[in-house]
Amino acid sequence: MFLAVEVFTAQAFGAKRYAAMGIIAQKAALICLALLAIIILAWTQLEKALLLLGEPCLRSTPSSMTVLIAMALRHACMHIRSPKSEAVKS
């Protein structure tokens, strides 16, 4: 979202349409707030949805979901191999 706003505001600035810059920034802020509200709503109803899908009670709480997501990300990051640095020959 930020990259799109950056491109559009740079175009508006280059065209000396300063009012358009403000409108673009306001629309972007409203879109971000709307998406945030949807995410918060989904997060608060997550436990009920997971229980309806048959997940065990222990895994259906949002806090345990956060832990599970963090563990999955950690596991994924551990398998990403960085390029080995070559030793400097003296």
pLDDT, one tens digit per residue, over 1-56 is 667 888 888 888 899 998 988 898 889 889 989 999 998 888 778 778 777 877 77
Residue 34: what pLDDT? 92
Contact between 8 and 24 (Cβ < 8 Å): yes
Looking at the whole model, is its pTM more than 0.95?
no
Gap between the Cα atoms of 78 and 40, Å rounded? 29
Query: What is the domain range of residue 64?
Result: 45-80
Average pLDDT over residues 64-75: 72
Categorise residue 54: left if φ over 0, alpha if ψ from -120 to 50, beta otherwise: left
In-domain check, residue 87: no
At residue 87, the pLDDT reads 47
Q: Flag whether 20 is in a domain.
A: yes
- Rounded to whole angstroms, the Cα distance separating 21 from 39 reads 27
For residues 71 and 52, membership in a common domain is answered with yes
Q: Pull the structure tokens for residue 48.
A: 């009920």
10 vs 83 pLDDT, higher one: 10
